[in-house]
Chains A and B, each alone.
Chain A
Amino acid sequence: MTVKDNIVVQSIGFKQYLPVGRLAVAIEFLSQWGIDEIAILDISATAEKRGPNFKLIAQAAKKCFTPLAVGGGIRDIADMRKLNQLGAEKIIINNLALSQGEIIKKAAEIFGSQFIVVSIDAKKVGGTYEVFSDGGQKPIGLEVGVFARKVEQLGAGEIFLNSIDQDGSKKGFDLRLIDAVVSKVTVPVIACGGAGEPDHFREAIIKTKASAIAAGNFFHFTEHSPIVLKSFLKSTRVPVRLETYAQYNDATFDRSGRLQKRPEQYLNTLRFTYLPEEII
């Protein structure tokens, strides 16, 4: 969930942004649709030299029964504690990890390593991948694997790896970038940037050792987007958690992940199927 000016946006190349809508609504729906984890990244906080918008996060967490990581504008331990109390199981830091790496160590002693996710924005420069700061604007002159290793040693529990080149491109994940990081660390790596069609997820899961694959733009504006995506992955034998009440078993999908129309005969049988409401 890329958040800019307090609304969810789609991001393209870390430069262009398209509005999506209210954070709490997007989260409520994705949570109900069985998304595995949600990361909120408030990209205007640091740029505006302000802290996290706690009110926005509190609203968003209200109907979020899904693991939640929150990043953007975190300045100190007190901000982390506040976000934790509001409902974040993890916090995500980016600029703070670059400017005050030691805070990772301190935070790990209080909240445990599993609480601290360091997000890295990387871009291809020549033959290698370099870390960029300030929302992907400034190169800091460090190779991505070297930096990932450093934050792991300080106590980060996870790496959220963003590809600036692939962001919003819909061309698929940068598998070489993912390899450049997973081969250097032992903590889980979440890869993000470039998802355009369901097969991109399959490719990244099968061909890299990333522990999780993330996407932003891909999940917006489509009904049941995570369920449909996971149904596709399941049909290609990628193991996924698929336990939402709504199901797309035996459905077929086109290349872009769009559901294909079912045969008339099948639709006719649905008219007489009784689907009771799920009560917990």
Chain B
Amino acid sequence: MKNTIVIIDYGVGNVRSVKNALSSLGYTTVISQEKRDIQGAACVVLPGVGAFAEGMKNLKALGLLPILHDAAIKNKKPFLGICLGMQLLAESSEEGGVHAGLGYIPGHVVRFPEKKTPRIPHVGWNTVSVSKTYPLFGDFEAGAHYYFDHSFYFNAPKKHVLATCEYGIQFPAAVGFGNIYGVQFHPEKSQANGLKLFRSFFKSHNL
């Protein structure tokens, strides 16, 4: 179990996709909502395809809040949030009313401004501009595309933004604070570029 990556299963997430991608790279993964698995894992991945309130509600109902807090904040395990999983790291979101998030990274999740953005949701492949390559974008080549599918974005303070993307406005595509990271796009569905990102992230944590 020492080198296991735990993929949190909380009812709103394409957990199997993340597992398929990580397995193809040779990692040992477990899809779980159990305390034991999360405590025993070397890294935590919080995937997510869903509404913010539903995600928080499920995490609470499953009793995962203190366990994730221990893993991310107390034990400082490498922690990667994907899409909704990244947004949940924020202090709050305005999706379907204002809801509190995990609060691991300062900032709030807001909706794309309708007047400045072509069509919402932002769906499809887009390029990012990376300000900090380590540890997520190790072998990053300019012009690489990643797959996005979202109506809201994490408006994090500049010092925590590792990469930005443009869709009418500029918004954070990747954030990081200490051992906690988040990507708005779906690396598990971004073909070779996504797999490279996973490789870079887990390699930098000796997996």
Contact = CB atoms under 8 A, between A and B. Distances in A.
Interface stretch (B5-13, B63-71, B98-106): B5-13
B186 interface: yes
B192 to A, nearest CB: 6
Nearest to B31: A85
Residue with the highest number of chain A CB atoms closer than 10 Å, among B16, B84, B96: B16
Contacts of A280: 25, 192, 195-196, 199
Given A65-B189, A278-B192, A280-B195, A85 B121 contact: no
Interface residues of B, number: 45
A88 interface: yes
Nearest to B189: A67
Nearest to A34: B191
B149 A89 contact: yes
Interface in A228-268: 241, 243, 245
Nearest to A35: B191
A114 B196 CA distance: 25
Interface of B: 9, 11-17, 20-21, 24-25, 49-51, 53-54, 84, 95-96, 114, 119-121, 123-125, 143-145, 147, 149-151, 186, 188-196, 199
Interface string A66-87: 1110000000000001001111
Contacts of B195: 65, 280
15 contacts: A34-B191, A37-B124, A61-B16, A65-B24, A67-B147, A84-B14, A85-B13, A87-B20, A111-B50, A112-B151, A114-B123, A188-B119, A188-B123, A243-B144, A280-B196
Interface residues of A, number: 41
A187 interface: yes
B63 to A, nearest CB: 20
Given A63-B20, A110-B50, A111-B50, A211 B13 contact: no
A44 B34 CA distance: 38
B49 A89 contact: yes
A121 B13 CA distance: 29
A245 B141 CA distance: 14
A112 B13 contact: no
Residue with the highest number of chain B CB atoms closer than 10 Å, among A63, A67, A245: A67
Interface in A29-83: 31, 34, 36-37, 58, 61-68, 81
